[in-house]
């Protein structure tokens, strides 16, 4: 079946230089008198890794039983904290999503109606739209759920 893999969690905040006076020291120009001007800009912040406990570093899967949920909560907590600062006008949490097959871990792809009807792209005459295209196990699972006859692997005619 299709499995969704989320990665690259980020907190993105928008800074409006014109709406508020940001001290130059905040961007490493301490001791100078001036101000940041111009259009709003964004800062992209990576959360601390779940497995990074400061005194020891381990894989995220060892540190968490709910990696997606823990990253989302960690990012939302950081965002809430950042939104309380005067220079931050807006923000959001983002991540990448990739759909993969739970059997073979390859990218999840399914047949279109045209591909299912085309003998050069379908498995056999029983292929239908939405049938996975990555591996035999995914196809068999799909057909079992729908009561579709199994493919005759090996080409028994
Ligand atoms: Zn597969």
Write the DSSP string, 72-138.
HHHHHHHHHHHHTSTTEEEEEEEEEEEEEETTT-SBP-B--HHHHH-TTTSSSTT--TT-B-S-HHH
Same domain, 84 and 135: no
Same domain, 57 and 16: yes
Q: Does residue 102 contact residue 4 with C-beta atoms inside 8 Å?
A: no
What global pTM score does this model have? 0.70
- For residue 156, the CA-to-ligand 1 centroid distance in Å is 22
Same domain, 9 and 55: yes
The answer as to whether 157 is a domain residue is no
- For residue 133, the CA-to-ligand 1 centroid distance in Å is 7
Same domain, 122 and 56: no
Domain edge (last residue) among 51, 72, 96: 96
Write out pLDDT tens, residues 18-74: 767 777 887 888 888 888 888 899 999 999 999 998 899 999 999 999 999 999 999
Same domain, 24 and 87: yes
- For residue 4, the CA-to-ligand 1 centroid distance in Å is 13
The answer as to whether 156 is a domain residue is no
* DSSP category for residue 143: H
- For residue 108, the CA-to-ligand 1 centroid distance in Å is 7
Same domain, 70 and 26: yes
Same domain, 58 and 115: no
Same domain, 109 and 136: yes
Write out pLDDT tens, residues 110-139: 999 999 999 999 999 999 999 999 999 999
Same domain, 39 and 75: yes
- For residue 66, the CA-to-ligand 1 centroid distance in Å is 23
- For residue 76, the CA-to-ligand 1 centroid distance in Å is 33
Its domain, for residue 55, covers 2-96
């Amino acid at each position: 079946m299709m499995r969704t893999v989320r990665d690259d969690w980020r907190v993105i905040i928008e800074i409006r230089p014109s709406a508020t006076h940001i001290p130059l020291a905040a961007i490493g120009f301490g001791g100078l008198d001036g101000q940041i001007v111009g259009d709003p800009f964004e800062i992209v912040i990576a959360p601390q890794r779940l497995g990074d406990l400061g005194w020891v570093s381990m894989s995220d899967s060892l540190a968490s039983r709910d990696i997606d949920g823990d990253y989302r909560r960690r990012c939302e907590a950081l965002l809430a904290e950042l939104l309380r600062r005067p220079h931050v006008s807006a923000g959001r949490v983002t991540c990448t999503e990739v759909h993969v097959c739970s059997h073979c871990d390859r990218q999840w792809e399914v047949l279109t109606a045209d591909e299912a009807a085309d003998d050069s792209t379908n498995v056999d005459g029983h292929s239908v739209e939405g049938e996975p295209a990555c591996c035999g196990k995914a196809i068999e699972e799909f057909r079992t759920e729908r009561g579709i006859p199994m493919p005759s692997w090996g080409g028994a005619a």
